[in-house]
Amino acid sequence: MNEPSRRAFLASAAIAVSGCSALPGGSRTTATLERLHVANRDIRAHTVHLYVEYDDHDPMVWRTLDLGPPDGERPSEVTVDYDWPDDPGHYTIRARTDDHRNWEAFTDITDEDCTTFELDVLEGGSLLGTTPSEAACPLDES
């Protein structure tokens, strides 16, 4: 499968999320991302394309993850390995499954706390992004 060029991705992402940046509730919040976890809860295998921006800069993470079907009650899952920034910032997490053209954008990440972001692949390849619990930030011992 051919990956889209960066230019094609950015053009399609801009169209897909145009008008979505002004969500109810005001301005975007900042967070310190401790962990990004992706799980397939559908009975079929899926490929997840993942793109993460930090403070509106170029992508810090751009990955393609192949997730098999769940093993019994346990989903196929992976934690995205990355040295996340220590400072709170504005994160935008974009994802799509398989050959879907539309990217889902997740920008509502908790306010100035350390957090784990969970991305679940649901039936039919739809996506659900949540921040189920706050993670404890490591103390700065300097």
| Of the candidate ranges 6-20, 28-42, 65-79, the one whose mean pLDDT is the lowest | 6-20
One-letter amino acid at 113 equals D
Q: What is the DSSP string of 30-74?
A: -BEEEEEEEEE-SSS-EEEEEEEEETT-S-SEEEEEEE---BTTB
- Find the mean pLDDT for residues 32-58: 93
pLDDT tens for each residue of 75-102: 999 999 999 998 888 889 999 999 889 9
Residue 64 and residue 3 in contact, taking contact as beta carbons nearer than 8 Å:
yes
Q: For 86, phi and psi rounded to 5 degrees?
A: -80, -25
CA distance 142 to 127: 40
Which strands sit side by side in the sheet containing 127-130, from one edge to the other? Answer: 76-79, 32-40, 114-121, 127-130
Domains and CATH numbers, the chain: 6-15+29-130 (2.60.40)
